[in-house]
Homo-oligomer: A and B are copies of this chain.
Amino acid sequence: MRTNIIAEILTVGTEILLGNIVNHNAAFLSRELAALGVSVYRHTSVGDNAERLAAAFARAFEDADIVITTGGLGPTLDDITKYVAADFFGLETEIHEESRRRIFARYDSQFTGRDLPENVERNAIIPCGARVFPNDNGAAPGICVEYNPANTSHKLASQVRSRNLQGKLLIMLPGPPHEMQPMFSDYVAAFLREKSGLVFVSRTLKIIGRGETAVESALRDLIDAQTNPTIAPYAKVGEVHVRVTARQARRVPEAAHSLEVGCDCRNIEDAADLLAPVCDEIYARLGEQIYAEDNVTLAEVVVSALKKNNLTLALAESCTGGLIAAKIVDIPGCSSIFREGFVTYSNEAKIARLGVSEETLAAHGAVSAETAAAMAEGAAKAAGADIGLSVTGIAGPDGGTAEKPVGLVYIGLYVKGKNAVERHNLLGNRSVIRTRTAIFALDFLRRSV
């Protein structure tokens, strides 16, 4: 069994090269393949052009064991992927009867009264002898072609032999994500798991309060010494993610441990055991700056911490103008902790709604520690909440001065009678400064409850 299978993801469609659609398929397939222990060394996108698609196949199979395509399987004239693939492997095409039946059944059941689209049968055409993955959410099935000299048409045999495709696989999937993603998860993944010699498990530690270089220097020796697991920091707007990935040679599953075809649970546990000591060491070094792991968001962490401690929250936002409230309300069930939010961009609103005194505004200005503190306390009291969180700052592009430059932000936090203020100098355009401010404000709250 191979221990390192190399895959290339080849997305087909002129709309990608025109920038009319963003290539989410490549990201989805990359995540899934990484979890299966298949290494992705390259993404390639080409248009609906037979010559350039054939060249892309040739280049991909120079390096890759498996090439996975998305797009170009439909019935219209610019859907050419499977025909170019058939030529490339020296195969004729045929109608796949079962797919043809599925397609007509689908239209009978779901599109009664509608005319059958032109050429719908073309969805069922496949290269002779190809394996088919059913499409439960659309017409065009997925297709897997494996090189087989026996099937090769004589006129193409020699040129196909020269491509040295022995043992290589081409998997063609439909372009629409709502068709491709379930097809991959339900059928293709199990098929590929059998081919992979490794199981990969990873944890992503999410960090706020240190830049990428600072995180990297803090972990320098670990990163330099990394073999298995590997450690990789990624910079995001306002935060840094550290991904720790462990691999394990794959063992044949025992029925007792295997919950689904191809899943070896003991393997996954073993790999997870490799992650624990490294992650513990990162926690020891970066401590509370790690706010969560994997898909848990900062807002989720804050909302569940407030729920756990039976604390209620009120917000007073100036330059963020509702961004923080929107992140809280994005969490289902936030209503039990979120009293209300005040978007007080104007001084009048800060005075009327939050009881910030005109003296404070006059003496220190709207962007000051004093105003931030008064806003937080005012929001908590007006809303009858345990906690008030406030933001006031200069998001730019205008309004900056020598002593109060664009990017200067104060975050106020009032918790049961106690005031605290944090000051930040942020870089970026108006929208980046506002986004970072919202993140730092939520993180200030996270560290305080």
- Return chain B residues, CB-CB under 8 Å to A182: 429
* Residues in B whose Cβ lies below 8 Å from that of A333: 398
Indicate if the CB atoms of B27 and A109 lie closer than 8 Å.
no
CA distance A123 to B235 in the complex (A): 15
Q: Which of A1-26 contact B (CB under 8 A)?
A: 11, 14-24, 26
Specify the chain B residue showing the minimal Cβ separation from A328: B321
Q: How far is the CB of A292 from chain B (nearest CB, A)?
A: 15
User: How many whole Å from A176's CB to the nearest CB in chain B?
Assistant: 7
Q: Which residues of A contact B (CB under 8 A)?
A: 11, 14-24, 26-32, 34, 40-47, 49, 52, 56, 59, 74-78, 106, 109-114, 117-120, 137-138, 176, 178, 182, 204, 211-214, 216-217, 232-235, 237, 241, 243, 315, 317, 319-326, 328-330, 332-335, 338-346, 348-349, 353, 383, 396-398, 405, 407, 425-432, 434
CA distance A333 to B31 in the complex (A): 40
Among B31, B52, B119, B346, contact of A213 (Cβ-Cβ < 8 Å): B119
**Given A178-B237, A182-B429, A320-B326: A47 in contact with B41 (beta carbons within 8 A):** yes
Q: A177 vs B78: C-alpha distance in the bound complex, in angstroms? A: 31
Q: With A and B bound together, what is the CA distance between A291 and B41 in angstroms?
A: 42
Q: If A56-B42, A178-B428, A429-B137 touch, does A20 touch B326 (CB 8 Å cutoff)? A: no
> B18 and A106: CB pair below 8 A?
no
The interface residues of chain B lying within 8 Å CB-to-CB of A341 are 321-322, 341-343, 345
Query: What residues on B are CB-neighbors of A430 within 8 Å?
Result: 330, 332
| A349 neighbours in B (Cβ, 8 Å) | 339-340, 383
